[in-house]
Structure 1
Amino acid sequence: MNIQVIKYKEAGKFEETRFEKIHNVIFGSSQEGSIIVAHEIAELIKEKAASNKPCVLGLATGSSPVKVYEELVRMHNEEGLSFANVVTFNLDEYYPMDKDNIQSYFYFMHEHLFNHVDILPENINIPNGTVKSEDLHQYCIAYENKIKDLGGLDFQLLGIGRTGHIGFNEPGSHFNSATRNITLDYITRVDAASSFLGIDNVPRKAITMGVGTVRSAKRIVLLGWGINKAEVLRETIEGEITSQVPATYLQEHHNTTFVLDEGASSELTRVKTPWLVTSPEWTDTLKLKAVVWLSELTNKPFLKLTDKDYNDNGMSDLLGVEGTAYDLNIKMFNKLQHTITGWPGGKPNADDSNRPERANPAKKRIIIFSPHPDDDVISMGGTFDRLVQQGHEVHIAYQTSGNIAVSDTEAFKFAEITKALHSNSEIADDILNSLHNKTGNEVDSIEVRQLKGLIRRSESLAATRYLGLDDSNVHFLDLPFYETGTIKKNNLSQADVDIITEIIEKIKPHQIYAAGDLADPHGTHKVCLDAIFASLEVLKHHDYMNDCWVWLYRGAWHEWESYEIEMAVPMSPDQVFRKRHAIFYHQSQKDGVMFQGDDNREFWVRAEDRNRLTAKKYNALGLADYAAIEAFKRYYF
């Protein structure tokens, strides 16, 4: 076993199973995994430099390798890591694409790595998106030959697309394919749409290294982050080799490691159903997960599962721990039933020993953090409504302005109205001129961004007023990391954390609700959640925080699995309608939403479907039949 595999085994969670055909390691976070990968690259660079040889790196773009590049830059600045002997070849580039376009991979690589290290400009190789079409074939041959002339790639860094593509080798790519021009899959273009402010702006073609080029690398590391990649990673690691999932070709590479975080690994057999792989330690959480899985597999509610069902599906050792199916079924049924409550703030003067929330204090101070100005009503509008109706002191804290999600046409409409009301308005003129003359992915002017932010604010206030909340309890935080005017946001800063800390200190809440929906395609949810977690670390030693519980919600992109839910708030048909009505106040996000992701449904439809599906799952497990359920998981700090 090579030294890289040994190192990864020591650093992360690693278990070989009969299901897996590619070596992979699971880390607690993408940050942790990225640092390990960066250090492997650094060691290779130094090893090659000591032998007076060039280090030939194949590099990837996209969100997956960003933290790797950040760590390499840090090592260059703080530890003297030199890139003087490094030659790089990037995997791909959109075609056609100008180098100075902010969406180009040339721009990306210089912004994230090359501008910050001492690599020689002549050693940087990125496919040229401006090559004339008649010269493209020969250009690709020359790119390929340059790699071969240097002895091939010493190390290839990869990400993976939801189609299973590596580089831009889409389904159907041949395992011996070389550098070439390729037509992008529709799903790939959908995934890129948010960066290009709409799928119509995403190029249809790209230049990419071939699968054969990638496979010729001496060492390959593929990064897989987030639950969105979980299914394709399971297919790649456990499935058969197929051109329909090009990443499966890596099963035949002798020195490949997939570096995953917990979300990306969640569909692997050893993670999803560990009892099929080994004899696990049966914690209460794993017992519930297993019984939910068995119930769904057999299409039986909890209380109808038999000893035979457990034995036939690899769970006989669980019965050995619990005794009989009868006893285990009742225990798990009660555990899930106790998550259901119509009192998300706690039921006053009631026995709360089997309820998810405390009875006291009867009236709680509550902060609902909303990353964007509509996540509150989309993801927990029914719970929000109930908390207000039940007399709690509810505060809504909108963490970002959400201005980037307002279309130019929507802003133009409001500017025209302003101009009609105030014909001498210079600001309206400036906004109209700016929008009229805007080209491509040009950054909005300050005035346009302010207008777009005001549109989101007015919609938020309309929705919160509808749900009975006073304006004084609505807080617009406008976290600085978001205010770049582009899809790419700044890293979380101390200023962001301080703003969160200030509002928590001011309100001293008994409950905090925060968005734990990390499938958000443009990353804002994660940064907003990280800001809250960082603030909680600062504040957790204060006495009032001992009485503060944190609940994480999902809904717009993903929902908690049944076994993960710790508080389930059922909604009546009337409350489903009220939630829908509150979402409708966010008119700028209702039709033709800019960040649709891979789901073509409007956000209110997504939310209702997910809430109904959660209720349906509870009912199928043997619990009461509700119209819809909003789900929460507690975070312990």
Structure 2
Amino acid sequence: METLQVEPKTLKYRPAGKFEDTRYEKIHNLVFSNSESASKLVAKEIADLIIRKQKKEQNCILGLATGSSPINVYAELVRLHQEEGLSFYNVITFNLDEYWPMEKTNVQSYHYFMHEHLFNHVDIPKENINIPDGKVAQENLLQYCLDYESKINQAGGLDFQLLGIGRTGHIGFNEPGSHHNSVTRMITLDHLTRIDAAPAFHGISNVPKKAITMGISTVLNAKRIILMAWGQNKAEIVKETVEGEVSGAVPATYLQHHPNTTFVLDTGAASELTRIKTPWLVGPCHWTPELRDRGIIWLCQKVKKSILNLTDKDYNDNGMSDLLAQEGSSYNLNIGMFNRMQHTITGWPGGKYNADDTNRPERATPQFKRVLIFSPHPDDDVISMGGTFDRLVEQGHEVHIAYQTSGNIAVSDHEALKFAEIARDLTTGQDRSNIVSLIDEIKDRKENEVNSPEIRKLKGLVRRSESLAATRFEGVPDDHVHFLNLPFYETGTIKKSPMSIKDIQIVKDLIEEIKPHQIYAAGDLADPHGTHKVCLDIIMTAIDEIKEKKFMEDCWVWLYRGAWHEFELHEIDMAVPLSPDQVLKKRQAIFFHQSQKDGVMFQGEDIREFWVRAEDRNKETALKYRDLGLAEYAAMEAFKRYHF
């Protein structure tokens, strides 16, 4: 069996289910610390296959996927072609799927995607490229799909199939209910699949309801299959696919029947696998402090007891007897964990002056700190840490807010039109004429058309004014509010540029100017359109480049989570309680971001508004602390310290 080659010190190939630590798993999988290194390894396997086929004077038949998962694979293949001479002259490709109806020239089409990311940059013969045609007339669809299937067979079948996985468990567009014998056909897209695609289409109403897809049988006939999944959003479906029973309700589980399939995962996507999340259920494990804390929290939630009420029997009955033997008694484990969680709670996020800070999350000195809060979008600050923000200002710290992106892409046309019409009615002469032209441009803008620089500027100003209204409400002077407008974001489309030296320099300059004692940054990598991750990468790179400077010795970095996921309890280093009044004040601060209220464009699968999500999440965190036997609060905001 061909397998991914990995460094022995990283991961070894072990067939799923053949070893004690993988006995829950029915599909071979490899877990990497990041998607970039994993993608390079996948690209190398594809390149090696192409070269082997060239040496045999044979064509290499590749089944290719679209979406965010394979982008880095295609980038590496392009690099191998341009820098190392990898040729694609013998490659024939068949793409998994395409929306229907869909023009090839539409920027949302998979035809456009594949040429943008791969085909325009390598020497593959154009006649060797096969992508389902999204403009086939409905009366011709059945024959078209049969011909597509026949063409794959005539080429000799797929040597290699690259896959991603949707949160419904779909591979290609084989949605729940797909039969294992299915072949290339038209399919109706699941609502969740359309929700996930909505950001790229500027709203779910623009997402096609149908698609052409290869079938399950077509995919399973490939000689080699690699499925890639990145991020915590994919963790639940990965676990269900790898450890669950084969079922048409989760089409990806059919891959359990394939003899040469590997799932390539990052730590987020693998986080729910039994051997990773609860390794004590699999076999003996090395109880690090982090694993011990995670295990005790898990045990409390499983047996529905507070920390101090756990017994020796609870530990023994739930696979944690070796931890109990290591620590001596449940009492020792319980009191240590109780104190650890108790010490995370503080109403003084900037530190409490003239107080013993031995067991506090933050330092007591200096009394008044310079605080720099980075917000990826112009509302993440109040959504994610509005209560803590309020506490920091109230307690006299010098608080600066840095909005990393303009957030213009998230302002709808009708919202922009409202502001443009107000501006029109307030101006005269040439200025009024220019605004009238802008209004006409907004009204005439076609679906999925890229915003012009003028429209982007207007939408950015909408977000800017809302941000200033919120920060003034919180008591922050205007000159402490920084709009960075990082260049990577300013593409006018959902697809952003990679972070650049200029992005990093802008952030470095601000940190060096303020010389903060505290930096708060968004560590929410479940953001469905990726901006949070790029923003965090820029901050971390900037910090890494200036960490040796004297002022950085006194700088602590705190990560917060956004609207999608909270930190696990064992990960939390600081929990800031909110009173009922502070919950209401946080809600009002979020309301200043009016363009993001009542039908926000990019909210993912959760139909709740961001302020509701934030309140529910903060209340849930407080309830979890209460259930552990700690004090009860109305709500809590959680933070994890980043040690650079």
**Matched position secondary structure for 1:280:** coil
- The number of residue pairs the alignment matches comes to 636
Match of 2:468 in 1: 461
Residue in 2 that maps onto 1:186: 191
Partner of 2:416: 411
Say which of 478, 497, 500 aligns to 1:493. 500
Number of the residue aligned with 1:632: 639
Matched with 1:560 is 567
The DSSP-based 3-state class of the residue aligned with 1:4 is coil
User: Which amino acid is 1:567 matched to?
Assistant: M
User: Aligned with 2:482: secondary structure?
Assistant: strand
In percent, how many aligned pairs have the same letter?
A: 67
- Letter in structure 1 aligned against 2:47: A
Which whole-Å CA distance do the structure 2 matches of 1:240 and 1:507 have between them?
Answer: 55
Residue 199 of structure 2 aligns to a residue in which SS? Answer: coil
Match 2:625 to one of 606, 618, 621: 618
* Separation (CA, whole Å) in 1 of partners of 2:101 and 2:155: 27
Distance apart, 1:215 and its partner CA: 0.3
Structure-2 change in CA distance of 1:373 and 1:13 (3 Å) = farther
Aligned equivalents of 1:285 and 1:10: distance in 2? 21
Deviation at 1:278, TM superposition (A): 2.2
2:341 maps to 1:341:
no
SS at match of 1:138: helix
Please give the TM-score of this superposition, normalised by the length of structure 1: 0.99
Any conservation in 2 of the 1:13–1:26 contact (CA below 8 Å)?
no
Structure 1 letter corresponding to 2:607: N
Amino acid at match of 2:3: Q
1:120 lines up with 2:119 in the alignment: no
2:288 match: 283
CA separation in 2, counterparts of 1:14 and 1:380?
A: 42
Deviations 1:37-61 (A, max 9, x none): 1111111111111111111110000
Contact 2:95–2:130 (CA under 8 A) maintained in structure 1: yes
Which string of whole-angstrom CA distances, capped at 9 and with x for unpartnered residues, describes residues 63-101 of structure 1? 000011111111111111111111110000000000000
Question: 1:3 Cα shift?
Answer: 3.9
**C-alpha distance in 2 between matches for 1:13 and 1:335:** 35
- SS of residue matched to 1:193: helix
> How much has 1:8 moved relative to structure 2?
7.7
User: Is the contact between residue 438 and residue 454 of structure 2 (CA under 8 Å) also seen in structure 1?
Assistant: yes
Partner of 1:4: 3
**Structure-2 change in CA distance of 1:224 and 1:195 (3 Å):** same
Match of 2:152 in 1: 147
The gaps in structure 1 that reach 5 residues or longer are none
Which of 583, 591, 595 is the equivalent residue of 1:584?
Answer: 591
**1:162-201 to 2 correspondence within 5 Å?**
162-201=167-206
Give yes or no for contact 1:95–1:206 (8 Å, CA) kept in 2. yes
- Indicate the SS of the match to 1:195: helix
AA aligned to 1:91 is L
Note the alpha carbon deviations across 1:195-234, whole angstroms, 9 max, x for none: 1111110000000000000000000000010000000000
Which residue does 1:222 correspond to in 2? 227
- Given candidates 544, 547, 554, the residue that maps to 2:554 is 547
Alignment CA distance shift 1:233-1:23 (3 Å): same
Asked if 2 retains the 8 angstrom alpha-carbon contact of 1:8 and 1:25, the reply is no
Give the CA deviation at 1:280. Answer: 1.4
Deviation of residue 150 (structure 1)? 1.2
Q: How does 1:464-475 map to 2 (within 5 A)?
A: 464-475=471-482
Distance 1:190 1:13 in 2: 37
The 1-side partners of 2:442 and 2:378 are apart by 23
1:376, 1:52 → 2: CA distance?
58
* 1: CA distance, partners of 2:12 / 2:400: 40
Among candidates 259, 264, 268, match of residue 269 of structure 2: 264
Please state whether the residue corresponding to 1:449 is helix, strand or coil. Answer: helix
Q: Which residue pairs with 2:300 in the alignment?
A: 295
Give the whole-Å Cα distance in 1 for the aligned partners of 2:618 and 2:547.
32
The whole-number CA distance in structure 1 between the counterparts of 2:279 and 2:562 is 27
Q: How many angstroms apart in 2 are the aligned matches of 1:107 and 1:80?
A: 25
Aligned equivalents of 1:237, 1:372: Cα separation in 2: 35
For 1:281-312, what per-residue CA distance to the aligned partner results, in whole angstroms no more than 9, with x for missing partners?
11111111000000000000000000000001
Distance in structure 2 (CA, Å) of the matches to 1:404 and 1:63: 19
Distance 2:8 2:588 in 1: 51
Matched, 1:74 2:69: no
TM-score, structure 2 normalization: 0.98
Alignment counterpart, residue 368 of structure 1, candidates 353, 356, 373: 373
For the residues of structure 2 that align with 1:220 and 1:522, how far apart are their CA atoms?
27
**Alpha-carbon distance in 2 for matches of 1:534, 1:327:** 40
- One-letter amino acid matched to 1:234: K
State the alpha-carbon separation in 2 of the partners of residues 408 and 501 from structure 1: 34
Given residue 106 of structure 1, which amino acid in structure 2 is its aligned partner?
A: H
Determine helix, strand or coil for the equivalent of 1:172. coil
Is the contact made by 1:9 and 1:25 (CA closer than 8 Å) also made in structure 2?
no
Does the aligned pair in 1 maintain the 2:377–2:405 contact within 8 Å?
Answer: yes
**Equivalents in 2 of 1:213, 1:546: separation in Å?**
58
Measure how far apart 1:539 and its partner are: 0.6
Q: Which amino acid aligns with 2:532?
A: H
Aligned to 2:404: 399
Whether 1:384 aligns to 2:396 is no
Displacement, 1:379?
0.2
Match of 2:459 among 452, 455, 459: 452
User: CA separation in 1, counterparts of 2:504 and 2:405?
Assistant: 13
Q: Distance in 1 between matches of 2:175 and 2:247?
A: 12
Would you say the 8 A contact 1:396–1:473 is kept in 2?
A: yes
Q: Per-residue CA shift, 1:352-389, capped at 9, x if unaligned?
A: 11011111111111110000000000000000010011
CA shift in 2, pair 1:629/1:498, >3 Å = same
Say whether the 8 Å CA contact 1:427–1:447 is kept in structure 2.
no
2:56: which partner in 1?
Answer: 51
In 2, Cα distance between the equivalents of 1:626 and 1:277? 36
Gaps of 5+ in 2: none
Inter-partner Cα distance in structure 1 for 2:214 and 2:458:
43
- Deviation of the 1:427 alpha carbon: 2.4
Determine if contact 2:6/2:12 at 8 Å carries over to the other structure.
Answer: no
Amino acid in the other structure paired with 1:451:
L
Structure 1 pair 343–13 and aligned structure 2 pair: CA distance change class (3 A):
farther
1:484 partner letter = T
Residue aligning to 2:102: 97
Quick one: distance in 2 between partners of 1:3 and 1:388?
A: 59
Cα gap change, 1:400 to 1:6, in 2 (>3 Å): closer
CA distance, structure 2, for counterparts of residue 13 and residue 390 of structure 1: 52
Pick one of 488, 498, 518 that aligns with 1:481: 488
Any idea what the Cα deviations from partners look like across 1:141-194, whole Å, max 9, x if unmatched?
A: 111111111111011000000000000000000011100000000000010011
Cα distance change on mapping 1:295 and 1:158 into 2, 3 Å: same
* Contact 2:4–2:41, Cα closer than 8 Å, also in 1: no
What is the Cα-based RMSD across aligned positions, in Å? 1.1
CA distance in 1, matches of 2:50, 2:638: 48
Instruction: Quickly say closer, same or farther: Cα 1:205–1:407, change in 2 above 3 A.
Output: same
Shift of the 359–13 alpha-carbon distance from structure 1 to 2, 3 Å rule, reads farther
**AA at the equivalent of 2:609:** E
2:446 is aligned with 1:439: yes
SS at match of 1:25: strand
Contact 2:2 2:260 in 1 (8 A): no
